[in-house]
Structure 1
Amino acid sequence: MNIRDFCRTHFKHFNAAALVDAAEGYVRHVDAGGKMLVTLAGAMSTAELGISLAELIRRDKVHAICCTGANLEEDIFNLVAHQFYERVPHYRDLTPKDEQALLERHMNRVTDTCIPEMEAMRRIESAILEEWTAADREGRRHFPHEFLYRVLRGGKLAGSYQIDPRNSWLLAACEKNLPLWVPGWEDSTLGNMYAGHCISGDVKNVHTVRTGIEYMMTLAAWYTETAPRSPIGFFQIGGGIAGDFPICVVPMLHQDLRREGVPLWAYFCQISDSTTSYGSYSGAVPNEKITWGKLGIDTPKYVVESDASIVAPLIFGYVLGA
């Protein structure tokens, strides 16, 4: 039984039914010629979402991504250092001394998974520092994801891959030259490293890496060019800046630039286990976004209140017809 048949057979009610509804809505949207922007919050790359997401990218079921700096870098960390990762299934039982022992071994824990600092973070730092300093000397400026695209295209890491490269969503995105936006990149391991290299003087011009406002400007240009030709859907995993940053481009175009005729988002799905509460973006129901000019009354809207590390691969598999 494939994933579609399994879900249709067993997922009849509650969040299970919402998953099927959202997946079928996704399929209808892209089959009708729509584009899909996916947002990645949390630690989806360390959860190895690339196993399903990369194939969606290759099959033209994802057309743009907005992610946190952590998700951007952690996919490439896993690509080159997977064999050195350690899983800690009993993480709930760890004492402060146990955590200190992991620190002393340079194993940085994300729930049940430890990322090896030396094999992952420092290896990528070495490769990307060459790109940062070369761009700095030559007066070039690039976005965070563009620097990583340059590292991947340069081939210096190809001999160090420790997973099947088809399971890296960033590599798939690079091969497609997929539009990426990484708001708040400064709040990431590589962002911290970059700040350190600016402080030490290795990078002379802090603006060598483009961020923030310039990212929003390129998003506005992409949305303005794309949406009138192909309705754009919004598939949100988690919340936070990865979700709020890109969805705001529509009201910005309407309200701040006073542009008329800009289409609203044409599909919306959120996977989140955040409690609907006062002031929470992650827990806000989709109808709240109508009041902000992000979604319309008739926009197809779905919420799956569950664990994205379980739900997202199922929806992605469903969309792929696996």
Structure 2
Amino acid sequence: MATSPIKDYTLKGVSSFWQLAQRFGESGGFMAREVAKASDILFEMCSDIRCTKFLSFTANLVATGLRGVIAEMIREGLVDVIITTGGTLDHDIARSLGGAYLKGDFDEDDKKLRTRGIHRLGNIFVPVESYGPIIERFTRAMLQDLYDREHLSTRELAEEIGKRLDDENSILAQAYKKKIPIYIPGIVDSSFGTQLFIASQKRRLFIDLLRDEKELMDIVFSAQKTGGIIIGGGISKHHLLWYNQYREGLDYAVGITTSQEYDGSLSGAKLNEAISWSKIKTHAKVALVYGDATIVLPLILLALYERRGALKG
């Protein structure tokens, strides 16, 4: 039961988002308080040296400038394990190799865009030549380099991609440099995955998902504590939660979503629902922010960086 009174606040004297987040917490109102809570939990999680930090996110975010923010999270040591979707490989490869993603409009005529050879992802325009052909050329060349390797896990494929990309804003490149494993349980649901299938029709090539699962199990069971930063939903969210149930759940969880729970979907499920499945501990510190991750994630990270003094210039 809440006992603290709601306080009015002004913006006078606020010179950082960390200061504003503190006032959000005092205001007691709606998502402002949840943003403040998420900021506090993220700080505690990232300060806990016993905590193995999992990050899950959906591929659509990699088509936006948030890709650089996620790559920065890796550089700053906020992440130990990443679980994402197949499209992350597509967008990261395409954008790292010069694919031009353009500012568009949600209400553009999609029939006209098709005749102009432009894909629409929300209000982002992706010219055909900036997407499929780039990914296909890159993937074919990489698989040719790896011709003698018949069995590859998704973690190994992500590493092979990362070491071939020279882009400081590439999630895969930063993860490779920092030795952060990336797992993609739905890897075939992507342009990259289609190229894997095509290659498998011409040579012996097997994607070893079970090796990925064994590695995730080993990470979970060897961790003293675990925390999850869960951006969006889908298979990446569920995979993060699923494996943590085998240690009775996450100790920390921060989620950002726009999905609602009323259709019973995993994407819309509140994080507290995961407690009933033992995917989050009963005493875990949990915050769920309803909002666009392209707005919310940079704000709570900025509060963290300001608090830690991690970014210099």
Q: TM-score range by the shorter chain?
A: 0.7 to 0.9
- Asked if structure 2 preserves the Cα contact closer than 8 Å seen for 1:270 and 1:302, the reply is yes
Q: Tell me the CA shift for residue 55 of structure 1.
A: 1.9
Q: Indicate the SS of the match to 1:65.
A: strand
CA distance in 2, matches of 1:177, 1:125: 25
Q: Distance in 1 between matches of 2:89 and 2:32?
A: 29
* Cross-structure match for 1:161: none
When the two structures are superposed, what TM-score results if normalisation uses the length of structure 2?
Answer: 0.84
Matched, 1:79 2:96: yes
Match of 1:166, SS?
Answer: coil
Worse-superposed segment, 117-126 or 298-307:
117-126
Report matched runs for 1:7-46 at 5 Å: 7-9=21-23, 12=27, 13-33=29-49, 34-46=51-63
Which amino acid is 2:46 matched to? V
2:142 to 125, 131, 137: 131
> After TM superposition, what 4+ stretches of structure 1 lie above 4 angstroms from structure 2?
none
Q: Deviations over 1:105-160 (max 9, x none)?
A: 2x222111122333443223222223323433x13422335334324424xx54xx
Gaps of 5+ in 2: 1-14
Q: Which moved more, 1:175-184 or 1:7-16?
A: 7-16
Matches within 5 A, 1:135-146: 135-136=146-147, 138-146=148-156
Separation in 2 of the partners of 1:298 and 1:16? 23
Which of 274, 294, 306 is the aligned partner of 2:259? 274
Match of 2:194 among 164, 184, 192: 192
Q: Secondary structure at the match of 1:21?
A: helix
**Does residue 214 of the first structure (1) align with residue 211 of the second (2)?**
yes
Whole-angstrom CA distance in 2 between matches of 1:286 and 1:242: 14
Structure-2 separation of matches of 1:316 and 1:144: 28
Contact 2:59 2:91 in 1 (8 A): no
Change (3 A) 1:48 1:97: same
Aligned to 2:181: 179
CA distance in 2, matches of 1:210, 1:3: 43
Indicate yes or no: 2:244 matched with 1:250: yes
Per-residue Cα deviation, 1:157-186 (whole angstroms, up to 9, x for no partner): 54xxxxxx3322222111111011111111
Tell me the alpha carbon deviations over residues 34-82 of structure 1, each in whole angstroms, 9 at most, x when there is no partner.
2311100251111222222222211211111100111233123222224
Distance 1:183 1:148, change over 3 A: closer
Q: Is the 8 A contact 2:113 2:119 kept in 1?
A: no
Matching of residues 278-293 of structure 1 within 5 Å: 278-293=263-278
Listed as ranges, the gaps of 5+ residues in structure 1 are 159-164, 254-261
Selected match of 2:159 from 140, 149, 164: 149
Distance of 1:96 and 1:125 partners within structure 2: 24
Does the 8 A contact of 1:72 with 1:145 survive in 2? no
Pair 1:124–1:96, CA change in 2 (3 A) = closer
Which has the bigger relative contact order, CA under 8 A and spacing at least 6?
Answer: 1
Deviations 1:183-221 (A, max 9, x none): 11111111122223334x2xx1241x333x332221111
Conserved 8 A contact 2:24-2:36: no
1:309 has 2:294 as partner: yes
Contact 1:52 1:317 in 2 (8 A): no
Q: Contact between 2:228 and 2:240, CA under 8 Å: does it hold in 1?
A: no
Q: Quick check: 1:81–1:120 contact (8 Å CA) kept in 2?
A: no
C-alpha deviations, 1:216-261, integer Å up to 9, x for none? Answer: 2211111112x12xx110111111101001211133x3xxxxxxxx
Amino acid at match of 1:281: L
Q: Deviations over 1:268-318 (max 9, x none)?
A: 121111112142112212222122111121111111011111111112222
Alpha-carbon distance in structure 1 between the residues aligned to 2:270 and 2:163? 40
The number of aligned residues is 290
Pairing 1:296–2:278 present: no
Q: Distance in 1 between matches of 2:39 and 2:293?
A: 14
**CA deviation after TM superposition for structure 1 residue 263, in Å:** 5.4
Q: CA RMSD in A?
A: 2.1
Aligned partner of 2:226 in structure 1 is: 232
For residues 82-121 of structure 1, the aligned pairs below 5 Å read 82=99, 84-89=100-105, 91-92=106-107, 94-102=108-116, 105=117, 107-121=118-132
